[in-house]
Chain A
């Protein structure tokens, strides 16, 4: 494949809108954007990025309900932020329904956010080393946050004192 353009019409054909390409004067041949060339890295053999793409959309749809419901309860209804206290948390986590709600929200939001941040790191960190370290930091912080949050939800003790 080549990107040869030597055969393009030379008499200003583009601006008049008339095509002058013919058998004797064929249109320029361009390499399709995703064509595999010698410089293409070897196949990764999995559809990881496809599943990541799908996960962003599916988790996003579920998060709309979980996150907006959460903001409504915590920040909008019933006096806004005024009411939030240890007692309020204890009241909500007394119900398995809200425990599971918060657990799902924690996991989905963290994994969704982590995958989004991974995309952003891949976009902007051009040096291999920088990219690797930023992603290690991201994965460590995500694992820590998810595990801490899960532990707190499951071990919450309303009578701690």
Chain B
């Protein structure tokens, strides 16, 4: 185990781990995403053929996962800002984490159908 990677456990450490993992995932996705978007400079056909991959069921599900990662990273990032800049932030960090998870859960339920409707429709043949 590299030095300094173990912290005190519990909410504070796990939210930090999740923030780090989601940050790395989003960064790698962004790299790929700029490359695929750059195909608009090649030809409309090349771009549309590549975007078709984004419309397959497996990749569509990965988009839902990407949204899950981004939403967590964004909401928890705002919590970090509150912990650092709000005088009572550190005292309420735990409550704020559960607020983040609550908002995250509601948004994920709300996003389920809109994001996956493409796959749901294609699988049900309509």
User: What is the interface of chain A, defined by CB distance below 8 A to chain B?
Assistant: 57, 60-61, 63-64, 67-68, 71, 75-77, 79-82, 84-87, 89, 106, 109-110, 113-114, 116-117, 120, 123-124, 126, 141, 145, 148-149, 151-152, 155-157, 160-161
Contacts and interface: CB of A to CB of B under 8 A. Distances in A.
Contacts of B115: 75-76, 80-81
A75 B67 CA distance: 9
Nearest to A74: B63
Interface in B37-57: 37-38, 40-41, 43-45, 47-48, 51, 54-55
Interface of A is mostly: helix
A42 to B, nearest CB: 22
Given A67-B70, A80-B117, 20 more contacts: A61-B78, A64-B74, A68-B74, A71-B67, A71-B70, A75-B114, A76-B111, A80-B115, A82-B117, A85-B48, A86-B48, A87-B44, A89-B37, A116-B23, A116-B27, A117-B23, A124-B2, A145-B30, A149-B37, A156-B40
Interface of B: 2-5, 20, 23-24, 26-27, 30-31, 34-35, 37-38, 40-41, 43-45, 47-48, 51, 54-55, 60, 63, 67, 70-71, 74, 77-78, 80-81, 84-85, 111, 114-118
B114 A67 contact: no
Nearest to B43: A161
Nearest to B71: A68
B34 A145 contact: yes
A161 B44 contact: yes
Given A68-B70, A68-B74, A75-B67, A86 B31 contact: no
Contact of A113 (B23, B38, B74): B23
Given A85-B51, A120-B20, A152 B37 contact: yes
Query: Which 10 interchain pairs have the tightest Cβ spacing?
Result: A86-B44, A113-B27, A76-B114, A60-B77, A149-B34, A82-B118, A86-B47, A152-B38, A116-B23, A145-B34
